[in-house]
Every structure is written in C-alpha cells, then in structure tokens.
Amino acid sequence: MLSLKPAFLLLLGSLVSQDAFAFSGSNHVQLLGPQSVNLWKLDNTHSLPKAPYQTDFATEGSVSVQVPLRGSLPYFPTRWFEQPLDHFSNSSETFKQRYWINTRHYEAGSGAPVIVIDGGETSGEDRLPFLDTGIADILANATGGIGVVLEHRYYGESIPVRDLSTDSLRWLNNAQSAADSANFMAHVKFPGIKEDLTASNTPWIYYGGSYAGARAAHMRVLYPNLAFGAIASTVTHASIENWEYMEIIRNAADPKCSAHLEKSIKTIDSLLAIPQLKRQLKGLFGLADLEHDEDFASLIESPLGSWQAKNWNPEVGSTRWEEFCEALDKPIFGHPDLLLNTTAFYDHDTGMVTLPGGLEVDLSVLNYARYIRENYVSRCPIADGATVEQCFGTYEDSQFQGISLDETWRLWVFQVCTEWGYFSTAPPEGHPRIVSNLLTLDYESKICRQAFPAGKHFKVPHLPNVTAVNVLGDFNIEADRLAIIDGEVDPWKPCTPHSEYARDRKDTINKPFKLIPGGVHHYDENGLRRRSDEPPQIRKIHEEIVEFVTEWLKDWRASDVDV
C-alpha cells in the first residue's frame, strides 16, 4: 500500500494511491486477491472508458497505496543513473534508473541537504507533485536544499529486464532496491551542479510513504552512513495475513455505513451457504454465472479499498468511499430495482425485501448489488462476447501467466508473494466483519502459485518470507534521526509502529513519532503551494517536519560521515 501500492499493496498496491492502485505507468495494484488483477486487466486491455473506481483500484488494499496526483504536472527533466542489475554478484549487467530533481531552492555551498523521495511501487512520475508542492519542496524551501524523486527498480521506466517471468523478477527485492538507493546517494553527480552533493559531503534526508516509507526507515537502519536522516510515513511490519486493514475501516467509517456493511455481509454469507438461493443472490449483483463463491466475495470487497484513497485535499482525494456509503443507504422509495419488479415485497419493520423465488435480503444488500453492477460488473465487455466468468473468475491459471513488460500488475504482486504478504483475509471467527468469511489465506494467496511458476533460477516461496522485512526493525524500528509519521485512521496503521501491537514511545526531535489526527494514508506527503491554505492538522505536521529536520541538520558534520 504497503499498493505493498502495498499489499497492498502491499500496498500493496499502494498503496495503490494518492489512490494507491496505480501500477507502473500510473497505476498501483491493490492486494485484494487475484480479483484485483482481473479489474486491472479490464481497465488496461479493453478500449473502454475508464471506470470512476480506477484510481481507487490503485489503492484498494495496496500498501502503496498513494493516489497519483492528477492535473498538470510541473516539468522536471528526466535524468538517468546507471545501476548494477545485481549488487551482490560479479555480474557486469546494468540498467538505467530514472530520477528527477528540483533545484529551485538550491543554495550552493551552504551545506543544505538533498531530500530524496523514494518512488516506491509505482512510476516515479506519480511522485512528481511531491517534488513540486509536497514534502520535498517544503523541506527544500526551508533548508535551501535539493529535492529528488528516485524511481524504484522495475517500475515506471527503470526496467532492468526484458520480460516479467519468475526468473526475471528475482532481482526485485528489498536488498537490491536498498542497494540501488545507497549506490545512487554515494555516487550521483547532478547535472548542472558543480559541487559534490554525494552523501559523503552532503546530508541526505530520505522520505517515503507507504511501502516507500518502509524503505526510508530501512535506509536509515541499513545505510546510516548515507541516509543522515529519514522520514517514514510507513508500514514496517510485513504480515502474511492482514485482516486488520478492514477492521480500521469498520471502526473509522460512519457507523451507519459500517452497520449496512456488517448486515449485508452477514446476509450474503448465510445465503451463499444455501445452494438453492445462492445463484439468485449472485444474480442480484449481475454475477449469477460466476462459478466460485470466493470470486464473488472478492469482487464485492473491492469498493472497501476506496477508503485508502481519501485525502485531505479534495482536489486530489477520492470521494468514492462516500459515494459507496450513500449508495448503501438509498431509501426504498423509488428504488429502481423494485420499480422493475412489482412482485417484490418490502417489510418496513424489518427492512427486509422478499424477492420472487423466496430470496429475502436486507435493503442494503439490494443497494450493494446495484452498486457492484454499475461500477464493477459493467466493466465486463459482455456485448463483445465476454462472460462474467472470463472477466471475474480466478481459477484459470493461464490468465495470470502473461510475462510481457505490459503486465505491470506482476511487480507488486511478486513483492507481496516473496517478502511482504498482506493477504486481505476475513477476521477471526466470531469477530464483527465487513468482508465475507470466504476470503481465506488459501484463496487470497493462490495467485502467487498461479502467476509465478518455478523458474530455472528462482522459486517463489509457498508463503512470503516476511522475516526479510521484519528483521530490519518491524514494529519497533528505531534510529536517531528517523521520524515515524502515520495516520490515525489509515487502514495500514496496524502494520506500522503506531499499531496496537507495537510498544508505546515518546515523540522527540531526535526520534519523532507522530500520528496525524483523522489522517489516512501518508497525509504528510502532499501539500499546497500556499501552506496557509492547508488544513490545520496538515499545516501542523509540515511545520513539525521542518522543525525537526532543521534541528537534525545542526548536527551535520561532513567529516564525521565515513562512506
């Protein structure tokens, strides 16, 4: 989102955000199981108008989960840096890593910092607004420094391979990407700048949000001689299962919306258990011919990812969550589905609708069904001969085994399957829930086995090796000049150092530990050109970031840094 882009989506997607679901090129993949890939394919392989949820699709469940900021982007020339394909072998293969710089505030010879934004699990172009008016520009303006966006290997145009097979993806991991950043910081020569601004001569402040936030924290731990300071708006705990993601949403959403969802899912799960009624239930959603109940449960989960796409700036934040909740709460009067069916009966006392054939559902289920039909099932090109099973079925392995560079959904999913996890499963038995109990670990993770058959040089583990992430600090990651910033109602908070599973800690200048009131996913990353127009809690966090970074820089001594 973790689009982890996240998985989220890992992150995922990715986050995958400012709607966290943009993949390479402008989308992150969410991590709501293989169904998310179906939705990505529908929006990227058919010449159909983009659905309103597409930006949310980038965020839904993805660790990356940051929504790409839309609108006109500033012009920053594209730069390239040569990287080894494999930092840990004697191979001579290299690739070009893309980056951009903002020098508008640069004061030569002042010892001002370089502020680098990690591109994370998306095209680096999606981070350029943060170089222009967001956190990189805010800090550069305050310090006379330079802002940089560094694109992550394999994403955007920083592509080191010719296809996305299992073997070709084996260099897409935490260790290699961290080594990329370290090599860049230690050796880059910025065009048009004569002085040496490498990390041995200049303080570098490393920033990341979501999955990229974990990378920022990891850089401060792994390469403290290069990353003088780091700001992590972050997920630092990798987890096989991530049911808590939906729990944050259930508790933080409007109580009426959460109640509608809980009641709907309880009804839906009970009806799916009755063979003679489940086809009629699926038919309400336009999915009568979808063979597997798990695929049905996964598809109707999709709108919940739009919570992560919320943002304090209405010009870039998604309103899809509010629209979804409004749809669930539509009144019976004038309901289009009932106007077309004069034999249906509505009980005003119980709020239940009885349909022909004996199917009895809550009115909220009828509303839910209409929303799914109009916003998701409508993406299936049935008029062109497609079937709902072809569009939304996930049990045909071959549909996930394309390896061309166009199949960019494979990138974050590979990271999830190998090191990050974040499979969005149902909560424990007996726990209140807003997703179906059919969303098991086996279903959510099966795409790893389907999409990445064993190669000649690499085999994806049965379950991701989350230890590779968690050994770097997990919930308790800590270092001098490492700031942890999270959102109060970020669905990824359970995987951050602000999690209820983490220890309490103090907020200090040396080790800032901040929670943004009402904040969702890395709310500190974007900003306005006029800071005075930002909401109070955003203006406050930006002022605090400037304050502690300014204090950190007072400790900088180039002679003390031994690269």
Q: Divide the 563 residues of the chain into consecutive groups of 10 and give the mean pLDDT of each group.
A: 32 33 33 80 61 32 40 78 97 96 94 96 93 96 97 97 98 98 98 94 96 97 98 95 96 97 96 92 95 97 93 90 95 62 66 76 91 95 93 95 95 96 94 96 95 97 97 97 97 96 96 97 93 95 98 78 45
Residues, the chain, total?
Answer: 563
pTM of the full structure: 0.89
* Structure-block tokens of residue 395: 């049990």
DSSP annotation of 434 reads S
Measured between alpha carbons, how far is residue 379 from residues 59, 210, 255 in Å? Answer: 18, 29, 30
pLDDT at 477: 98
CB 34 within 8 A of CB 78: no
pLDDT at 519: 95
pLDDT at 10: 33
pLDDT at 376: 95
Q: What share of the chain is helix, strand, coil (3-state, %, to 5)?
A: 40, 15, 50
Angle (nearest 5°) at CA 113 between 108 and 119: 120
CA 208 to chain centre: 12
CA–CA separation, 229 and 275 (whole Å): 58
Q: What is the DSSP string of 272-289?
A: HT-HHHHHHHHHHTT-TT
pLDDT at 317: 86
CA–CA separation, 208 and 538 (whole Å): 17
* Cβ count near 558 (within 10 Å): 12
Show the domains of the chain with their CATH numbers. 79-238+469-555 (3.40.50.1820), 245-451 (no CATH)
Q: Which residues are catalytic?
A: 210, 490
